[in-house]
Structure 1
C-alpha cells in the first residue's frame, strides 16, 4: 500500500521508489508513536544515539523536523552548467538523518502537505533527482518555521561534491558519518581511510553486545521476554544436561535475505527449493551446489558478525554466486556453546518460497538434472494430494577430486570399482540402510520403504512438513528425529529410482569431535532422545509406541 502511495512520483535517484518511503512514515508507523529518528542505511554512528534523541527537547513548539544542512552545493545549482535542482532553503538539508515529530506532523496534515508540494514542483521538474530529499526541501522552503537545524556533526556527508571537512576540526568530533554516494566506501576524502576503518571495525563487532540493556534506558519487558525469563528460572543448573536445555531457550539474532534475492514462482506449482544450513567451514561448497542445482535455494548460515562480513566479501567476489539471484541467504548469528543445527535448519525451511522442499546437507552434491527430475516426480507421485516423502539415495566419496557421475549407470560402475560408497557404510550403516541400495540398483520405478530406527534419509516433502526439533543441538539425532516425526504423521517414504546425491569429503566438525570425546555429551543426547520419544507419544498417542519399543530393542 505504501509503495502504491509513492508510485506516481518519477524518481531518478539510484534508490528507486524505496528512496521515497520516508515520506509515508506518519502512515506506516503506529498512530500512538510520538517521535522517531530516521536513519539511512549508509551511516556509521560514532556516539550514543541517546544524545541525538535528546535534541527533540530543543525543538520550539512549531518545529516538526530536525535535519543537518546539506554539505554540497547541489541545491545552490552551481555544480555544472544547466544544473537545475529542486527549490531549497539556502544550501538545503540532507535527509540521511531526520528527527521526525510524528505527533505534530499528523496534526498539521503532513500527508496532504507533502503531496501538494510534490505535485506542484513535478509540473516543472518532471522527476526527483534525490528522492525524498527533494520533496522535504521544497516543503521546508515553503514552511521554514517547521525545521530545526541540527549541528553538522550529526550528519557528516561524504559524497564527492561535499565539503564535509569544514564541519569538523578533529575526526574525534564526529557523531555520524554518512556515505551518501553511490561509491560508498570509495569516495574521495582526506580522512576516508579513518572513516572506512571505523565502519569496518563496527561491522565486525559481536552484535550480541548491542542486545545488553543500556544504562539509563529503562525498558518495558515484553510478554515474550517475561515468558523466556520464567522458562530459564525453571531450569535446574545442577542438571548435567543444563547447557543443552539452556541452548534450546537461546534467542538468536537472525538476518533474513542477507544478499539480494529474486525468485519468480513457477506457474505449474511444482517448484522445489533446496534447503540446507552451513557454517563458515563449509562455505567452499556453495559454488559447486549452485552448479549442480539450478532451482531456488534457501540457505541458513550460522556465523558471527565478523564471519558474516567475510561471507559477504566471498559472495561478492564469486562470479557463480553473484549471478545466482534465486538463492536466499539467511544469517543466524552465533551465540551459546553448541551449534543449534535444527534451529538453523528451521530458518532455512521456513523461508523457502516454493510448494516443495528438498531437505539436504550442504556437503552433498545433487546429481546433474536432479532439480528437473524431482519436479517431474512431484507430479507423478501426486505429492499435492498425498503425504509422501521422496527419498534421494545418498552416496559418498573419500576423494577430494571426483569425476562426478553423469548417470545412474556411471554411478553404479563407480560403486563397483570402489570409487564411491553408500553413505556412511563404514561408520553408521543404520542411517541409510532402509533405503535398500540393493533394490535401488535395478529399480526403475519408485518403491516404498518402512521406517527403521536411526533412519535419516534426505527427502523431498511439501513445505508444510513438521519443523525440526530444536532440542537437538550439535551432533546427533537432529535428522533422525525429523524423519521419525514424518513417519508418525504417516508420510510414505518413497525411494526414487533415478535420483542420487554424493557426499564430498571434509574435516570432521567441532561438534562431532565433542560427541566422540565426551561421555557426558553422549549421555545427554540419550536423555534428550528419551524425552523426545515421550513427547512423541503424548503428541501421536499409541501410534508412536513403536518408536519407544524400537529404541529399547537397540
Structure 2
C-alpha cells in the first residue's frame, strides 16, 4: 500500500501534468497564430495530433482517479489501524539497499477524540499556586480532550486550588488532590540544596502517590507554558519500546558535563543528562520493575559521595538513567525548551512553530537572559493575563457529567424569565465567579485569641490607592476581596510587590474575585472576605474609610470588656466624612469633635442619605463615655464589629443600593444588640462616584428593580422569621 504522503505527491504531479496538457491543447487549437504565425500544417495531421492529446488527457485523468481511490483506501486503513493498535506509533526509519535512511510508513496511533489525559503537578505555597494557574490556562487554551489533573499539594495550595477549580467550573476537567505531607517521610531523608525544597523531590514518589489503576501520566513543573495541544505529548507514549518507562528531554545546559566552574561536581548523568520539568511516566511498568526501590538505592549510593542533591529529583532521575539507559525515551527538545542560565535551547528551534513547551527553569524566571526572551515572555504573559472565563468551553461530542453546583446553577438560569425587567439583576446574582484565595503570601495563622479582630472590605481597581493608607491606620489582620480581571490581577500583583508598605505586611489576605457580568457583586465580595477571615471577630467596613489610629487595639479591648464572644451584639463604629482629598487626620475623639465644629468633617452622608446613619445618634456620641444601645430603624446601615459566625450578606443585591441595609436588618431579626462604641470612629475619604451609583441615579429601571428586590427580600424575611419580621415591612410602607 502506498504511503499517504507519496500518494499525495503523485496526485499533485498528475494534476500539474493534466493542467499543462489542457492548456497546451487549448493554445494549439484556438491560438495557433500565437505559437505558429503562418499556421502552416496539414489539416489531417492537425486532427491526428489533437486526437493523441485527447487520448493522453484521458489517460492522465484515469491515473488521477486511481491514485485518489488508493489514497482514500490508505486513509481508511490507517484509521482502522489507529483504533485497533495503540502500541506502535510514529514513523519508522528504514534503511534501503544503498544504506541510506528514509522515513517508512509506520502505523500511527493518534489520541482518541474523548480520551482522558492525566497530568500530575506538585504544587506548594502561595507563589506556586499562582504559577500553576498560568500553566493550566495554557493547557486549557489548546486542549481538545478531557483532562484529569492530579495535584500533590500542601494545605495552603489545596485550599487555594480547590476553591479556584470549584468556582472555575471548566467542563471535562477533573481534579484530584493528594496530601504532600503523606509523602514527606519517603523523601525527607534526602538533603536538597535546590530552592524547591522537599517538594522538589516528590515526583520520585508518584508511583506510590497516584492511584494504582492509573497506568500513565504526564508530569509537569509549575513553571511550564504550553504552546500546543497537550494531546500531542500524550501521543508520544505510543512510541515507547517495551523497556522504556520514562520520557524526558535532554538537559539544554552543560550542568551535568561538570565544566561550568572549577571543581564543579554534578551528579552522574548520561551525556548532558535530562531535565525533569516535563516527564512522561508509564506508571504500570515502573511499579512492575520496582521503581521505588530502584531510585532509593541509587540515591543512597550517590549521597555517600555527593552528600546532597543540587537539582532535587532531577539528580536522582539522571543517576538512575545513567545506570539503566534503556529505561528512558528521549523526547524531542521542543517538548521542553529550557530558559535557564547557560542554556543551549536556541539550538532547539528555528521557527516559532517548532515550539511546544517553554520551561522557565531559572530562579530568575522572566528575568532570565535569552536571545529571544521577549518573545517567550510575551507568550507567557498572554496566558498570565488571559480571561479564564473564556476557557469554560464545552468539548462537543464528549460526555461530561455536570457537577452538583453546575447542575443547580444551570437549572436556576433556565428558570429565569428573560422578559423580566430585572432579568440582568437576577442573572448577576447567579453568576459563579472564579475565586483565587490568598493571592499573595499570608503568614497570619488562624488565631486562637478569642478577642482578635479582622478588618473586612472589598474593592476594585479604582480604589487600589486606599490600601496603603488603611494598612498604616490598621495594624491588625485584614481580609480583602478584590474584583479584578485577569490582567488587572497582575497589575495589582506588581503594585503590591513594589509597595514598601504592602510588601512588608504578611497579615493582609488578598482574595481575587474575577470579573464577570455587568454589575459589581458587592455582597458576594463581602462574603468571600468574611468567610476567609482567620479571627474570632470581624470589623465589617468599606475600603474608602480610614479607621482611627489605634482602632484595632481599642476593638480588641472592647470585645473583652463587653464580653462579645458570649453575646449576640454588634459594635457600631460611628462614621464621618471629609470632602477634602488632603486631610490632617484626627488623632483623637476630641480632635475629631473640634473638626466637626469647624466644618472640616461631617457625619457620614448627612446631606444625601441621613437615615443611613442617623440612628447612631451622633449628638449623644459626642459626650458619651460608655457604650450605648440604639434601636434598628429603616435603612440603617452602620459599620459594625461582630463575631465571625454572623449572617452572610444577601447576594441578590448587586451594584448600588440596599446591600448593607439588608445585612443590618438580618442582624436585628436575629436579635443582635446594636451598641455604639463611645471612643471609636472612622472617616470616609472622597472619591469619584462608582459606575453603579451613576447607573442608579440616571436609570429609573435600575431603581425600579432595586425596589422589586427589596420587596422580595421582605417576603423572604417574613418566611424566615415569621411575625418578628413584620415590623420591617410595616416600617418600609410607612416611609
TM interval, shorter chain, is over 0.9
Question: Contact (CA 8 Å) 1:2, 1:24: kept in 2 or not?
Answer: no
Query: How far apart are the structure 2 equivalents of 1:463 and 1:27?
Result: 40
Q: What does residue 2 of structure 1 align with?
A: 182
The one-character-per-residue Cα deviations of 1:427-449 (angstroms, maximum 9, x if unpaired) are 11111111111111111111111
Q: What does residue 171 of structure 1 align with?
A: 352
Question: Contact (CA 8 Å) 1:395, 1:501: kept in 2 or not?
Answer: yes
Question: Contact (CA 8 Å) 1:13, 1:129: kept in 2 or not?
Answer: yes
- 1:203 lines up with 2:392 in the alignment: no
Give the secondary-structure state (helix, strand or coil) at the position aligned to 2:330: strand
Please list, as runs of the form range in 1=range in 2, the aligned pairs for 1:340-355 lying within 5 A after superposition: 340-355=521-536
Give the secondary-structure state (helix, strand or coil) at the position aligned to 1:130: coil
Question: Contact (CA 8 Å) 2:183, 2:205: kept in 1 or not?
Answer: no
Choose from 295, 303, 316 the match for 1:122. Answer: 303
TM superposition shift of 1:62: 4.4
* Range that drifts further, 475-484 or 110-119: 110-119
Choose from 140, 150, 155 the match for 2:331. Answer: 150
Choose from 474, 481, 486 the match for 2:655. Answer: 474
Give the secondary-structure state (helix, strand or coil) at the position aligned to 1:506: coil
Question: Contact (CA 8 Å) 2:448, 2:535: kept in 1 or not?
Answer: no
Q: What does residue 555 of structure 2 align with?
A: 374
TM superposition shift of 1:420: 0.6
Larger Rg: 2
Choose from 560, 566, 575 the match for 1:394. Answer: 575
Query: How far apart are the structure 2 equivalents of 1:328 and 1:500?
Result: 24
Q: What does residue 701 of structure 2 align with?
A: 520
Question: Contact (CA 8 Å) 2:248, 2:330: kept in 1 or not?
Answer: yes
Q: What does residue 261 of structure 1 align with?
A: 442
Query: How far apart are the structure 2 equivalents of 1:492 and 1:192?
Result: 61
Q: What does residue 284 of structure 1 align with?
A: 465
* Range that drifts further, 311-320 or 142-151: 142-151
Give the secondary-structure state (helix, strand or coil) at the position aligned to 2:263: coil
TM superposition shift of 1:103: 4.5
Query: How far apart are the structure 2 equivalents of 1:67 and 1:73?
Result: 17
* Range that drifts further, 422-431 or 264-273: 264-273
* Range that drifts further, 504-513 or 435-444: 435-444
Give the secondary-structure state (helix, strand or coil) at the position aligned to 1:478: coil
Q: TM-score, normalised by structure 2?
A: 0.72
Choose from 497, 502, 506 the match for 1:321. Answer: 502
Please list, as runs of the form range in 1=range in 2, the aligned pairs for 1:6-155 lying within 5 A after superposition: 6-30=187-211, 32-155=213-336
TM superposition shift of 1:144: 3.4
TM superposition shift of 1:33: 4.4
Q: What does residue 224 of structure 1 align with?
A: 405
The one-character-per-residue Cα deviations of 1:4-61 (angstroms, maximum 9, x if unpaired) are 4343332211222232333344455455544433322222221222222322333344
- 1:384 lines up with 2:565 in the alignment: yes
Choose from 419, 427, 445 the match for 1:246. Answer: 427
Query: How far apart are the structure 2 equivalents of 1:218 and 1:392?
Result: 54
Q: How many residues align?
A: 554
Bigger RCO of structures 1 and 2 (CA < 8 A, at least 6 apart): 1
Give the secondary-structure state (helix, strand or coil) at the position aligned to 2:660: helix
Structure-2 change in CA distance of 1:109 and 1:358 (3 Å): farther
User: Structure 2, unaligned stretches of length 5 or more?
Assistant: 1-180
Query: How far apart are the structure 1 equivalents of 2:281 and 2:454?
Result: 42
Please list, as runs of the form range in 1=range in 2, the aligned pairs for 1:423-442 lying within 5 A after superposition: 423-442=604-623
Structure-2 change in CA distance of 1:183 and 1:215 (3 Å): farther
Structure-2 change in CA distance of 1:60 and 1:553 (3 Å): farther
- 1:411 lines up with 2:592 in the alignment: yes
Structure-2 change in CA distance of 1:76 and 1:481 (3 Å): same
* Range that drifts further, 419-428 or 35-44: 35-44
User: Structure 1, unaligned stretches of length 5 or more?
Assistant: none
Query: How far apart are the structure 2 equivalents of 1:499 and 1:8?
Result: 54
- 1:446 lines up with 2:627 in the alignment: yes
The one-character-per-residue Cα deviations of 1:282-332 (angstroms, maximum 9, x if unpaired) are 000011011111111111110111111111111121111111111111111
- 1:509 lines up with 2:690 in the alignment: yes
Query: How far apart are the structure 2 equivalents of 1:459 and 1:111?
Result: 57
Query: How far apart are the structure 1 equivalents of 2:672 and 2:315?
Result: 58
